Amino acid sequence: METVWRKTIYSLSYMAKLRLFANLREIAGIARIEIPEETVGAVIGAANERFGPDFERGVRTSRVWVNGEEAHLADAVGESDEVVLLPPVSGGSRPTAISSVDLLGFVPIAVIAVALLANLQSQEIWAAFLVAAAATWALDLNTAFVARGKVMAPLAVATSAAAGALSAHMLGGAGYGLSVGLAVAIVLGWAIAIPSYRDVEVFSPTLLIALLAGLASASLVLSRSSFSPDDRAVDVFLAAVIIAGLLGGLVARLPALPFLDPFTATALAAVLVSVGAAAFWDLDVVGYLLVGLGIAVSLIAGTGLSSMLRIGSVSLTERAPGLLASMDGIVLAAAIYYPLIRLVL
């Protein structure tokens, strides 16, 4: 009896919590579970046995954190520890039936479709779309933060995007610069109102994301206004970032190709599409060559930004988690687009 009691106490002392996201949560049917094991590897192994081969395939492509820090399989865990499994984007395994997670995989395509439709509408509808897209992007980023045990303020980001779009619409070029001050004021206000947002590890990334959202919204509003040097500027931008993103993503999923990697494919597509669109619409080809180079650099830099925000370290070889991770580079490119075209065209 005493031996059984000791074993029970031993098991309870290693009752770590396992938290699941995206398709792993869908396959398992639960978001959290407690597993009596003493290492990260043992916790994951027990979950694999319990939830089956589809779950195990998803785990192979997932990132592992313990209490918000990247973990190794040999790391010890105890009762107060939380092991988190977060698959890249929404994939890693293929359930036998179509689920809500499968449908979420079409979110980036839906954003592209809505962007193209919104660009055909009035300036007010275009601005509203930009704010909605920024808010959706912020919520997707927040999911990655939560998975790592971190905190950010997605509502502050959405508010900064709305403030940037409004200031650009009302004040023109001056509104672009004002969007920086508005984002800082909004994030500071959130920190004053909510004590948990005052920590530098929360305030700093929230401010960075809010600045990008505010500048991107202001930039794309101005690029479609009378302040733009070219009334086709947004059309060129959308064509470049959409085709470059799709081609880069396609190359990343293909077997290794000689002389072509996702970064090269993305950069070349951004430049060539910018030049091709300029030639098609009879615009300044040389100017858009330089604009395309700026977009290409921003999209590549966005890969590092994406891993920094979503993983916590800069990595150019791993796909960052999140349904809208591909938007990170696009937001960065959008943020610099208006000053870029004003400088070059």
Q: What pTM did the predictor assign?
A: 0.77
Of 340, 272, 325, 301, the closest CA to residue 139 belongs to: 325
HSE on the CB side for 16, CA within 13 Å? 23
Q: Is the pLDDT of residue 39 over 80?
A: yes
Q: Is the pLDDT of residue 315 over 80?
A: no
Question: Over pLDDT 70: what percentage of the chain?
Answer: 88
CA pair distance 326, 303, nearest whole angstrom: 8
How many domains would you assign to the chain?
A: 2
Helix, strand, coil percent values for the chain (each to nearest 5):
65, 10, 25
pLDDT in tens, 242-274: 999 888 888 877 776 677 788 889 999 999 999
Distance of CA 148 to the CA centre of its chain: 14
| Structural domain ending residue among the three candidates 45, 76, 98 | 98
| Structural domain ending residue among the three candidates 98, 121, 150 | 98
Q: Is the pLDDT of residue 7 over 70?
A: no
pLDDT in tens, 60-112: 878 787 887 778 888 888 877 888 887 765 433 333 343 444 444 456 777 88
Q: Is the pLDDT of residue 35 over 90?
A: no
| Structural domain ending residue among the three candidates 98, 129, 162 | 98
Residue 220 and residue 272 in one domain = yes
Residue 137 and residue 6 in one domain = no
CATH, residue 93: 3.10.20.30
pLDDT in tens, 115-139: 999 999 999 999 999 999 999 999 9
* pLDDT for residue 332: 95
| Domain span at 316 | 106-344
